[in-house]
Amino acid sequence: MSNEQDLETQIEKLLGSIQNYCSTEMSDEVQHLLADLIKAINLARKANELNLIASIEISFQAITAEKPNLILAKEITESVMTELKGGKTKLSPAVRVVMGLGCLLYIAIPLLAYVLPKWMNKEHILGIPTELFLMVAMFGAVGSIVSIMVRIQDFMSVDVKDHFILYFTGFFKPIIGLSFALFLLALIKSGWVPLDIKTETENYFFMAIAFIAGFSERFARDIVSNIETKIIKATENAG
C-alpha cells in the first residue's frame, strides 16, 4: 500500500470515529476542539503528512477519554496546525494588545504633531485652560499605557474567540483613560466633588488624578457610578 493510500485509510477511519462521537452530547469547548481537529485532518490530507495523523489521533483520544484531557488535546491540535501552516507562530493575546496600542500611536503621534501647535496658540480648549487640558489628557493616556504594560502578563492567559477584541483593547484603552481623566477634571472643577486643592499644587494634583483615572478603570467607574447616583437623587428631589 502506498503512503498516500495509507494516509487516506487512516484519515477515513479517524473521520468515521469523529462522526460516531458527534452523535453524543458535547460541551461547547469539545465542539470547538473537534472542529479544529477536522481542519487539521484536512490540512494533513492536502499536505500528504501521514506522520501528523498519529498526533491528531492522540488529540482525539484525549477528547473522548472517560475523563477528557482537553488541555492536552488543544495543545496537540494547535501544534499540528502550526506545523501544517508552515511553522507560522500564533500571535499571543499580549502581542495582539500591544499591536493595537502600536496602531493607535502610529495614528496619534503624526496627528498630534499637526494639531498641537494650533492648540497651543489658544488660551482655552472647551473652556479649560489649554495647558491644564493637555496635561490632564496626556497623563490620562499615559496612565492607560502604563496599565497595559504592567498587566501584559495577565493578557497571556486571556482566551477570546474574536482576536479583534484584543487589538481594540490596546487601541482604545488610552482613549478611554484620556476621556476618564478629562471627565474627572470637569467633575472636580464643577464642584461636584468637594476638594480643597491648593493653588500652588493644583497641577501636581491633576497630574496624579489623571494618571490614576487612566491606570485604574475601576477607580474612574466607581466615581462615575457615585456621581450618577447623586444626579438621579437630585433629579428626583427636584421633581
CB 82 within 8 A of CB 73: no
Segment 11-49, tens digit of pLDDT: 888 888 888 888 778 888 888 888 888 888 888 777 777
Q: What is the pLDDT of residue 135?
A: 94
Q: What is the pLDDT of residue 235?
A: 77
Q: For residue 34, which of 49, 52, 12, 17 has the smallest C-alpha distance? A: 17
The model scores a pTM over 0.75: no
Q: What is the pLDDT of residue 1?
A: 46
Q: What is the pLDDT of residue 239?
A: 59
Q: What is the pLDDT of residue 161?
A: 66
pLDDT less than 50: residues of the chain: 1, 87-89
Segment 83-95, tens digit of pLDDT: 776 644 456 788 8
For residue 197, the SS3 value is: coil
Q: What is the pLDDT of residue 31?
A: 85
